[in-house]
Structure 1
Amino acid sequence: MFVVGDDDGDRTISLPYEDIVAVRCTSGLRTSTLEIVTVDEDCWAFECKGDLTPVREFVDEATQVWTRTLTELDRAESQVEAAVTALEATDLETAATHITAAQEALDNGRGRVEALEATASIDERCQSTQAQIDTCQRRRHVSAAEQHRDTARRAWENRAYERAADAYAQAKTEYERALAVTAPEPPTETIADARSAIEAEYAELLSAPVDAAQVAASAARATTDPAARATHWEDALDRYRTAYELDWGRDRRFDGDRASLRQALADIAVELVDTHREAGRQKRREGSEESKRETPGAACGSATAHFERAREVATELVPDRREPPADELAAASEQGVSVESEPKGR
């Protein structure tokens, strides 16, 4: 902005920095002239008796700063567009890179223009770009939270409880980061509801290992057929073992305690050994009936499998119950051999 005075009074002339393409200064005998050329090829000449060299240097430097400022703002807006594209493709890592680059470019542009004390002239553009950056950032955090939530649910289904717990914790953190960003989208209420849902699922997960094991044990107790009951006890043993092997020293996140689970494992192992033996004896009796009917000895083979499994479990978990099935195992094996070797048709 220049103030020009003549016999008719003073007046101001304003030239936007972005319109200036060249600045030069010439000195005459008594006066100096500052010439400013604009993009429209207009030439503005300001003449005075003082030295205009400092003015030329200031305008020239300010014009360059302004040009670099606009370049940074253009770069920021371009990075925002790239971030939006990455978010739509669910490429969160790439989106994060573009969001960071956009913020850096915007901050650089603001810093440059502040030195000129001309922030008001681009304030609206800066605010608009910042709002877009914040929206992208919030969207990225929400998308990351949703990915962690899906990971947690899949891990839960596969009984990878610790991995599920970690993923739920990460999902909650991402939702909280999203809420910390001021942006209109996604709506704050929607994010808060999603965070609450994650917290509820996480709380349910913490009791899931023991709950699932108890359900399997209840199913075993409610089953009358020994072979089917053995299958349920196998499931219960596997689920209690999964619960027992959790990292209980890590903030004690899950419900239950190792001592109780250890005792439950021992109790279920006893039930499993006894049930397999019962199923083995039942199959051995069925094998005797098969031999009378001159049918194949499949029941005897099943009896042997039950007795062998009983001995495996006893050896691993309840050694004091390991020996009793030896005679039963031998009897089942001998019975199976006799059935297989006996000629048909007699």
Structure 2
Amino acid sequence: MSRIIDLHGDDGTHEILKTLSLDGLIREGKLLATRPLATYLEDSEEPRYGLRNKKSGVEISGPDRSEQLSPDDEYQAVTLVTDLRVLFVIGRAVGDEVKEVPLTEIIEAKADSGRFRRSTLRLETLDEKTWEFACKSDTEPVASYVDEAAHIWANAQRLLDEVEDQIAAGRECLETDEPGKGHGELAGAQGKVDTALQRIREVGPAASERVESRGRRLSEELSAVKREMFAAEGANAHAQAQEAWENGEYEPSSESYESAVQAYERALESNGPVPSDEALRRRIRGVVGERELLRVGPVLDADTARRRAADTDDPEAAATEWERALDGYRELLSLDWGRDQRHFLVNRDRIREQTAAIADDAIEDHHEAGRRWLRSGDKLATQEQEREAMKVYRRAKNQFEQAHRLAREVKPEHVEKLESALDTVEDRLSGAMPDEVPEEPPLSASDIREIQATDDGRSRDTDRDSTKESVSTVEQEGGGNEGESRPGEEATPDDDESRSGEDLEAEDESSTDEEKSRPERADSTRGDADTGPDVGTVTPAESVDGDGRPGDDGAGMAGESGKREGDGELDGRLSRLGEAEFENLVADLWEAQGWSTTRVSTAAGSVYDVIAMREEPLEERLLVWTIHRPGDEVTADDVEGCATARESSQGADTAVVVTTGTPTASAAESADDLDVAIVDSDELGQLLEFEGLTDRL
């Protein structure tokens, strides 16, 4: 038998592995006394080389001492190189002595040549020891394999050590709420695991099995940390979206909502226990629900500003509100500019029409406020209060300038009129007296004191304070004198307290007539909503006393049996509607009740069908689900899904389910518990009859 045996590819049957002696070669003697080499192999461990010597054994030298392990005279020393270790077995009559050096502990392996064809396998280990095994054959191939295998082992372990450090750094970033930085810490970690596993397979199956076990564990930890990081990123993006929305930054808000959804979806794709799949899906539903509300949010917010302006009586304050509304409507037109995919539900043609009408209102109110201040200045001028008149003229000029600016931007047809007004006020500021002295008596002393108290004739916040606010001290300083004047109103001298009630009445009527003479708002921007049965915060079927509305204990439309006349026919007509037709009918029903509605079910990922909003008698926003299932059931899961979407939405007060199906008992119970209103086909029919919408069926 050769002194060095290459065991690559051997199935474990070679003589050096299976026997204790060398058959047929008496002069060679016995190999080992206790166990054949094959019995030392672990599961999946593969032999690579076998070496033997008869007398030299193995020499171990270290910093403290050296020792020589030699076989007994009848036996030999054998070295077995595997994919895990270098095993030294020294034959002894009393029992073989075994030493091993794991490949992970070897720093270097080399072959030293000596005299008489003698070659020594030399191993340098981490504990600063040297292992030498002499042989009468060339040990270079053995040393080369051991050195390469040891380096692969070391490289694989180093890569996995680095991954462990990266995971620890990533968890620290999670604790400090820096998931973005954490992703940077984990960069390339999975690639290192893959490289380590790929390289270690070159060594052998046992080595691969050991490293793969650690690699799998680290991959699982890595995925779990990434899952938590993506979830944290989603939560942060969600919070940023809500903050941007609150600040009126709609497009950044939409982008943050999209980032939140993507982060949560990536968290779902990463394996890990925290957060759970259900928790992540619940977060995604919440974000999608809010994102769908945001799609109509700019329209609703702009419309709210428009309504607020329409409800403001004082022209100066109203003009400021109209400009705010105008800014909102202009922003609507800029949303999604240049994008193929629309993130917001905006009817651009309708918005352009409303923008023009709002601009008209803003210009009109600025002009009216300026006209009133101009007339007040003329009154002061007739009283020879020049300094105070100049201050009031400057207020008038400010209002005319704002109106002129808007007119040049959006309504050029008003420019000529406003330039004429500006010329007039400029003449006044230059010292020209009015051609006609106002018929009304001059301002009272308290009016003059109030104007003197202001800063250079301007209100404290010209863009905010109304004309009423700027002269609000007049009544207080005058002790409530009814005759004291405000800009644009008739004034009465301080000493004239002898007017009759009839005179006061006439003056009030005159003021009222003056207000009525103002032009109507374009496009009915100040129109009031119609009233009707409340289908908002309560179930529409709840009783309304004695007016024949739905649920009136059989009064009105319901007969003695509690059913509508012809209810079977109406239910049949409802059941024949398509889903889109049914949704449109429900939206129109809510509009008939005085709500502003927006249909959103056509949007991808929509979790509800209609958003309804109103400001009177309370400001409310509700989400409406249309479940068109004639002859089928509405379950508790349907109700719970609606409640979940409502809770995760921003600004929605109420959830309403309108259905042609039959709510189960558990659905009704869930609706009561979760405060979800259910409108079934009977109640829907009653509402349609009351509002005169049955012809839509």
TM-score of the aligned structures, taking structure 1 as reference length: 0.81
Report the residue type matching 2:371 in the other structure.
Answer: R
**How far did 1:93 drift?**
5.0
Deviation at 1:332, TM superposition (A): 4.0
**Are residues 234 and 33 of structure 1, via their aligned partners in 2, closer, same or farther at CA, if it must alter by over 3 Å?**
closer
Aligned with residue 316 of structure 2, among 212, 217, 227: 227
- Does residue 407 of structure 2 align to residue 317 of structure 1? no
Whether 1:190 aligns to 2:216 is no
The question of 1:110 aligning with 2:110 is answered no
Cα distance change, pair 304–42 in 1 and its aligned pair in 2 (3 A): closer
Q: 1:146 aligns with which of 213, 235, 242?
A: 235
DSSP 3-state at the match of 2:19: strand
What is the root-mean-square deviation in Å for CA atoms of aligned residues?
A: 3.7
* Alpha-carbon offset, residue 268 of structure 1: 0.9
Question: Which residue matches 2:215?
Answer: 126
Tell me what 1:204 maps to: 293
Alignment match of 1:263 (pick from 353, 359, 374): 353
Q: CA deviation at 1:255?
A: 1.2
Aligned with residue 305 of structure 1, among 392, 398, 409: 398
Q: Which amino acid aligns with 2:241?
A: A
Contact 1:79 1:101 in 2 (8 A): no
Call closer, same or farther: CA 1:46–1:112 in 2, change over 3 Å.
farther
Matched-pair contact (CA < 8 Å) for 1:99–1:136: no
8 Å contact 2:156–2:211 — kept in the other structure?
no
How many angstroms apart in 1 are the aligned matches of 2:323 and 2:346? Answer: 21
Q: Decide whether the 8 Å contact of 1:37 with 1:44 is kept in 2.
A: no
Quote the Cα distance in structure 1 between the aligned partners of 2:346 and 2:233: 31
Contact (CA 8 Å) 1:20, 1:37: kept in 2 or not?
A: yes
Deviation at 1:232, TM superposition (A): 0.8
Q: Contact between 1:248 and 1:258, CA under 8 Å: does it hold in 2?
A: no
Larger Rg: 2
CA 1:17–1:326: 2 relative to 1, 3 Å = closer
Amino acid at match of 1:276: H
What is the aligned partner in structure 2 of residue 68 from structure 1?
155
Q: Which moved more, 1:203-212 or 1:29-38?
A: 29-38
Contact 1:83 1:96 (8 Å CA) reproduced: yes
**Cα offset for 1:241?**
1.0
Q: How many angstroms does 1:82 deviate by?
A: 2.7
Aligned to 2:103: 17
Letter paired with 1:320: E
Per the TM alignment, residue 266 of structure 1 is displaced from its structure 2 partner at its CA by 1.0
Measured in 1, the distance between the counterparts of 2:109 and 2:429 equals: 108
Q: 1:37 to 1:321 in 2, by over 3 A?
A: closer
Shift of 1:129: 1.3
Q: Which runs of 5 or more structure 1 residues have no equivalent in the other structure? A: none
1:69-84 maps to which residues of 2 (within 5 A)? Answer: 69-84=156-171
C-alpha change, 1:39 and 1:227, in structure 2 (3 Å) is closer
**Residue 115 of structure 1: how far off its partner (Å):** 2.2
CA contact (8 A) 1:248 1:254 kept: no
In structure 2, list runs of 5 or more residues that go unmatched: 1-11, 22-33, 42-84, 86-101, 434-444, 446-697
CA distance in 2: counterparts of 1:29 and 1:269, whole angstroms:
109
Q: How many angstroms apart in 1 are the aligned matches of 2:420 and 2:162? A: 83
Alignment of 1:264-283 (within 5 A): 264-283=354-373
Structure 1 stretch displaced more, 263-272 or 201-210 = 201-210
1:327 Cα deviation (Å)?
4.3
Residues paired across the two proteins, number: 341
**How far has the Cα of 1:50 moved from its partner?**
9.1
Question: In the superposition, relative to structure 1, how do residues 300 and 65 fare at CA in structure 2: closer, same or farther (>3 Å)?
Answer: same
2:342 corresponds to which of 247, 252, 267: 252
One-letter identity of the residue aligned with 1:76: V
- Supply the AA of the counterpart residue of 1:300: Y
How far apart in 2 are the matches of 1:225 and 1:3? Answer: 106
Structure of higher RCO (CA pairs closer than 8 Å, 6+ residues apart): 1
Query: Amino acid of the residue matched to residue 258 of structure 1?
Result: R
* 8 Å Cα contact 2:118-2:134 kept in structure 1: no
What TM-score, normalized by structure 2, do the two folds share? 0.43
Separation (CA, whole Å) in 2 of partners of 1:189 and 1:109: 34
Identity across the alignment (%) = 29
- Structure 2 CA distance for partners of 1:143 and 1:46, relative to 1, 3 Å: farther
The Cα shift of 1:22 comes to 6.3
* Contact 1:17–1:66 (Cα < 8 Å) also in 2: yes
2:155 counterpart letter in structure 1: R
Instruction: Measure, in 2, the Cα distance between the counterparts of 1:202 and 1:172.
Output: 10
The residue aligned with 2:265 is 176
Alignment of 1:98 with 2:169, yes or no, is no
- Closer, same or farther: CA 139–294 of 1 in aligned 2, 3 Å: farther
CA 1:324–1:97: 2 relative to 1, 3 Å: closer
State the Cα deviation string for residues 178-230 of structure 1 (Å, max 9, x = none).
11111123333333333222222221222122222111110111111111111
Alpha carbons of 1:9 and 1:157: their partners in 2 closer, same or farther (altered >3 Å)? closer
Task: Tell me the CA shift for residue 310 of structure 1.
Answer: 1.7
